[in-house]
Amino acid sequence: MSTLPPAASSGSSPLLADLLQQQFDPASHEANNQQLYRLLRDAMLQEQLPPGLRLPSSRQLASELGVARNTVIHVYERLAAEGYVSAGVGQGTFVLDTRPDRLVGHDTAQPAAAPPALAAISGRGQALVAQAGAAERQWGAFMPGVPEVRTFPARIWMRLQNRQWRKPQPDLLTYAVGPGLPALRQQLADYLRSSRGVRCAPEQIIVTNGTHAAMQLVSLLLADSGDAAWVEDPGYWGVHSVWRSAGLNTLPVAVDEQGLKLDEGMRQGVPRLIYVSPSHQYPLGAVMSLARRRRLLAYARRHNCWIVEDDYDSEFRYGRPPLPSLQGLDAHGRVIYLATFSKVIYPGLRLAYMVVPEALVESFQTGLSELYRGGQYLTQAVLADFIAEGHFVAHIRRMRQLYARRRQALLTAIRQHFGERLPVHDGAAGLHLVLGLPQGSNDQALCEAAMAAGILTRPLSQYYRGPQPQPGLLLGYAHVDEADIARHFATLARVIRHGCGL
């Protein structure tokens, strides 16, 4: 609690007059009452106006500053309400002593602790920051994982959105406690059954604010701190970040041209969770073979593991139709299917969803409501209309054709500069490809040199957690105009030749 001054202190006017003469500016854009309050408050906190000092009367201070008396009265009342001064009719206004070492009940027997470093964070936080994979810049050739957003049918979206806003339903604007808008979950169930071979009912779909939120919910509901989780190596950095922050022990498992190498994972012991991207392995592009898919499902059933299938960009395959999902082969409810709208709509939408086995539906619905409260129901309503009216499938079809042309332009540019000397990994799908580099190349240094030349790319080596990372560059082509790809790659090729001695 604050303490009253032991006695009235004289000489307040000179102290306050000097302070205000130097700093109070009646011509400032800041309102007079806000400016006076700020100056007095800061002076008290810094003890330029010491505890016990008597402030001049409101009439006197208003006259000295040339402001309305009500302005000073308002400031004094605010300072008194916040505990900086004591004031009473006929008693004067005094600066209170609020220093921690003078408060009643302060433990003077214990020495004051040294002030913590401003950047000090927890051990878990340090590990998260040290292994962070998010890039500061997200737009420009050839940043991977970025879709083309300039061709999004914004007018159609705006029309559907305006329709919802003309007479918005209260349940779309209030707190959301369910797993997603029923209309959207119905549309997604129909779409997934027909396009991805997912076996599900609308009740099994859980809508989340992004894939990371879905992965965190999976880790919290299906695993305990210290449990092991297999993660593809190289693989998506976000899985390690989210699951390690939840206390899981993520174990890198190598991939080859058929996907996750199950035998290598088995040598590390039985996991609780297994993360895979079987339709288009991130980042190398491998497609998991049918034999390996069936073996993985059998292993998960036998050892009571949960498989997390990340189907992040399977809509975009070039030359052949998308492969059915791993979840569609699961006859025993061991797969949690994840998908996102970030690649097929636009990243700023921040909506993803998962399909959970029937046995987990109630737990996941409750967990989502308890931890995240769901949300964005009005946006979900717009998205449901967007899908129901056929705009979603039409947009995917247009983007698939556009991305195919841009991918081919990039492949042509690579061949023109390097022929067959550098390997290309892409699986004929997705929004990026990986350009392999000679052994011993420093792909991180190449990325820095490329950025200095105006080109954005990501080093393949940073996607490895196991030993012997392979060097390479992730090249996103989806958002780069076809006419600009050759010019931008020519710049990158100069950087590669200089850095690799080619």
pLDDT digits (tens, 9 = 90+) for 73-118: 999 999 999 999 998 767 789 999 888 766 555 555 555 555 555 5
Bridge partners, residue 87, by sequence: 93
324: left (phi over 0), alpha (psi -120 to 50) or beta: beta
Q: Look at 170 and 382; give whichever has higher pLDDT.
A: 382
The residue type of 286 is A
**pLDDT at position 372:** 85
Query: Which of 1-5, 11-15, 165-169, 289-293: highest mean pLDDT?
Result: 289-293
The rounded mean pLDDT for the chain is 90
| pLDDT tens column, 176-197 | 778 999 999 999 999 999 999 9
- Cβ–Cβ under 8 Å, residues 255 and 465: no
pLDDT grade for 126, boundaries at 50, 70 and 90: confident
pLDDT grade for 2, boundaries at 50, 70 and 90: very low
Q: Look at 292 and 109; give whichever has higher pLDDT.
A: 292
Give the SS3 label for residue 15: helix
Q: What is the mean pLDDT of residues 299-323?
A: 91
**pLDDT at position 449:** 97
Q: What is the mean pLDDT of residues 30-40?
A: 92
For the CA atoms of 25, 27, 30, 33, what is the dihedral angle to 10 degrees? 70
Closest alpha carbon to 310 in 279, 284, 283: 279
**pLDDT at position 28:** 87
The Cβ of residue 13 has, within 10 Å, a number of other Cβ atoms equal to: 14
The residue type of 248 is L
Longest CA–CA span in the chain (Å) reads 92
Task: For 257-387, list the strands marked E by DSSP.
Answer: 259-260, 273-276, 306-310, 335-340, 352-355
| pLDDT tens column, 407-456 | 999 999 999 999 999 999 988 999 999 999 999 999 999 999 999 999 99
Q: What is the mean pLDDT of residues 356-382?
A: 92
Task: Give 379's contacts (C-beta < 8 A, 6+ positions apart).
Answer: 349, 351
pLDDT grade for 501, boundaries at 50, 70 and 90: confident
Q: Look at 245 and 372; give whichever has higher pLDDT.
A: 245
pLDDT grade for 131, boundaries at 50, 70 and 90: low
| pLDDT tens column, 331-364 | 999 999 999 999 999 999 999 999 999 999 999 9
Q: Is the pLDDT score of 133 beyond 70? A: no
**DSSP symbol at 53:** B
| pLDDT tens column, 456-470 | 999 999 999 988 899
As a whole number of angstroms, the distance between CA 350 and CA 495 comes to 35
Task: Give 25's contacts (C-beta < 8 A, 6+ positions apart).
Answer: 35
Percent over 70 (pLDDT), the chain? 91
Give the SS3 label for residue 400: helix
**pLDDT at position 265:** 96
Q: Is the pLDDT score of 380 beyond 50? A: yes
**pLDDT at position 158:** 97
